[in-house]
Amino acid sequence: MNQIELSIEQKLSLAQNFVNHPIQSESIDYKIKYINVLEWFVNRFSPNDIFSKQLLGNYKVGLLGVEAINYQYNDNIEELLKFTAKLRLKKWHWFSYRYLLLIDILFLCSFFDPIKANIVVEEYKKQLKLWFYKNKYYRNFSELTSELYVEQKRDLQFDAIDDVILKWQKNLEFIVQKPKKILITANMSAGKSTLINALTGKRIVKTQNMACTSKVHYIYSKAFEDEFNYKIDGEVCLNADIKYLMNNNESNTDNKILASTYFRNFIVDKPLCLIDTPGVNYSGNISHQKITQEVILEKDYDLLIYIMNAEYLGTDDEHRYLKFIADNVKDKKIVVAVNKLDRFNAREDDVTLSVNEVFNDLKKFNLNNYRLCPISAYAGLLAKEKLWHDDIDEFDVDELELIRRKLKKEKYNLSSYYSDILLKDSNNRDFSKSDKKYFELLANCGILPFEKLITE
């Protein structure tokens, strides 16, 4: 490994590890001192690195929870290490967190930088003052560092680090791959942002029934679930709550917003970047069209998803925009998603007929290399929220049951459009009865096969 500095994209993909962190079961006092040590090293080795500082901030939230308000910094490193890295008798054997502590320090100060890591390890050894066991422990630290940075398997077992090493490797594996970039575009309110939420399985971007996305949002997937959303909107925030995610920073003059979260999915985890764009036909603000057309023409994406709102098919705005895409995006794969099909009403609408009409209509435009995909993004989002046991409000619960029953019917079942996409048999999954019904919905609304199709 010779790259030293992580790119912003890579930093956004890094997940942290608190749920199963070995010191979760320790006292608050122990945890505070442990974080004090991390802070001492961050101050010393990454004092100007906003990412390291914010990742450190997440240790306070992730390990201390509500007690984070009682956190105080203490810089007596000798005393702190004596306490946090000492040997103690636990369940009848001698045990120490000194290796775990080193991994956390390296994660914060030099995750991708082996040269800096060596300097950090030297300082750690110096501060530990293990003069009486010098050679033995020094060898152990080198072995551990080689495992992290040169991926050399170690012979010895060290306390409390197996899961942490797995997570380190998962992060590494994830960030060395280039994310597949998928741009999503449409006229206003077609469901671009809802589709992004369905693919991430979370409400990560704002949706509403009037023009609402006004900047380009790049949503990166994280290596594993850590319950932290990152957002860069003029400033870096690595613990973005729903309010912070839904609102733009007015003082940021750039048109780009970056964010990341773990994408809930049933396909193998792959690094992805979903690009949400403003609707192009919003007459209230012409800049929306300009901003979107610019990113489309920049061509910095691997796949383009064009969304049609099934409630308003064949409009002049649609034809105008399809022509723009057909004329300007000849060299990229395109997926045309017909969205909101759950809104169809059996007495007046016919899904098969409408999809066929769209198919025929598209022949007028010289669209290369495209596939037509009927979906209900809203149903996909609700199905995932249910499967991951999120609380959803009463309105959504009512809608969910109606849509679920509707999409089960043959006439509406959108999974029939994806018979060529091989999905693992849901019977093999260990779902409860209720989860099974929402997994079925995820398939019936098209999102499950759609996700497979666009990520492959």
The rounded distance, in Å, linking the Cα atoms of 256 and 50 is 19
Residue 446 in the binding site for ligand GTP (CB under 6 A):
no
Distance of CA 258 to CAs 8, 216, 219, Å?
Answer: 9, 8, 6
Nearest distance in Å: CB 283, ligand GTP: 12
- Closest CB to ligand GTP belongs to which residue? 279
Among 244, 255, 250, 254, which Cα is nearest to 204's? 244
Nearest distance in Å: CB 357, ligand GTP: 19
Q: Is 237 helix (H, G, I), strand (E, B) or coil?
A: strand
When CB distances are held under 5 to 8 angstroms depending on the partner's kind, the choice from Mg ion, ligand GTP, none that residue 289 binds is none
Of residues 110, 187, 193, 415, which one binds Mg ion by CB under 5 A?
A: 193
Q: Is 260 helix (H, G, I), strand (E, B) or coil?
A: strand
Please, which residue, 111 or 438, has the CB nearer to ligand GTP?
A: 438
Near ligand GTP in 169-188, by CB under 6 A: 186, 188
Judge whether 335 and 375 are in contact, CB under 8 Å: no
Nearest distance in Å: CB 207, ligand GTP: 3
Near ligand GTP in 378-417, by CB under 6 A: 378
Of residues 181, 340, 384, 406, which one binds ligand GTP by CB under 6 A?
A: 340
Residue 221 in the binding site for Mg ion (CB under 5 A):
no
* Choices 179-187, 207-215, 300-308, 326-334 (CB under 5 A): range interacting with Mg ion: 207-215
Among 199, 204, 208, which Cα is nearest to 380's? 199
When CB distances are held under 5 to 8 angstroms depending on the partner's kind, the choice from ligand GTP, Mg ion, none that residue 434 binds is none
Residue 261 CB partners (closer than 8 Å, separation 6+): 200, 202, 204, 219, 221, 222, 229, 230
Judge whether 310 and 338 are in contact, CB under 8 Å: yes
When CB distances are held under 5 to 8 angstroms depending on the partner's kind, the choice from Mg ion, ligand GTP, none that residue 377 binds is ligand GTP
Residue 277 in the binding site for Mg ion (CB under 5 A):
no
Residue 331 CB partners (closer than 8 Å, separation 6+): 299
Nearest distance in Å: CB 338, ligand GTP: 10
When CB distances are held under 5 to 8 angstroms depending on the partner's kind, the choice from Mg ion, ligand GTP, none that residue 229 binds is none
The rounded distance, in Å, linking the Cα atoms of 380 and 385 is 9
Output DSSP code: residue 222. Answer: P
Near ligand GTP in 191-220, by CB under 6 A: 191-194, 207-209, 211-213
Residue 213 in the binding site for Mg ion (CB under 5 A):
yes
**Rounded to 5 degrees, what angle do the CA atoms 6, 10, 11 make?**
75
When CB distances are held under 5 to 8 angstroms depending on the partner's kind, the choice from Mg ion, ligand GTP, none that residue 33 binds is none
The burial of 77, by beta-carbon neighbours within 10 Å (0-12 exposed, 13-18 middle, 19 or more buried), is given as middle
Please, which residue, 52 or 193, has the CB nearer to ligand GTP?
A: 193
Interface size with ligand GTP, residues (CB under 6 A): 23
Beta strand segments in 20-77, E: none
Nearest distance in Å: CB 120, ligand GTP: 44
Distance of CA 255 to CAs 123, 238, 252, 295, 394, Å?
Answer: 42, 20, 8, 10, 35
Please, which residue, 128 or 383, has the CB nearer to ligand GTP?
A: 383
Of residues 44, 270, 343, 371, which one binds ligand GTP by CB under 6 A?
A: 343
Residue 451 in the binding site for ligand GTP (CB under 6 A):
no
Nearest distance in Å: CB 340, ligand GTP: 4
Token pair of 53, please?
């500082």
**Rounded to 5 degrees, what angle do the CA atoms 302, 305, 307 make?**
170
When CB distances are held under 5 to 8 angstroms depending on the partner's kind, the choice from Mg ion, ligand GTP, none that residue 194 binds is ligand GTP
Please, which residue, 62 or 380, has the CB nearer to ligand GTP?
A: 380
Nearest distance in Å: CB 312, ligand GTP: 11
Q: Is 438 helix (H, G, I), strand (E, B) or coil?
A: helix
Nearest distance in Å: CB 104, Mg ion: 38
Among 440, 445, 426, which Cα is nearest to 373's? 445
The burial of 163, by beta-carbon neighbours within 10 Å (0-12 exposed, 13-18 middle, 19 or more buried), is given as middle
When CB distances are held under 5 to 8 angstroms depending on the partner's kind, the choice from ligand GTP, Mg ion, none that residue 77 binds is none
* Choices 25-33, 148-156, 265-273, 339-347 (CB under 6 A): range interacting with ligand GTP: 339-347
**In the complex, which residues of this chain contact Mg ion (CB under 5 A)?**
192-193, 213
**In the complex, which residues of this chain contact ligand GTP (CB under 6 A)?**
186, 188-194, 207-209, 211-213, 278-279, 339-340, 342-343, 376-378
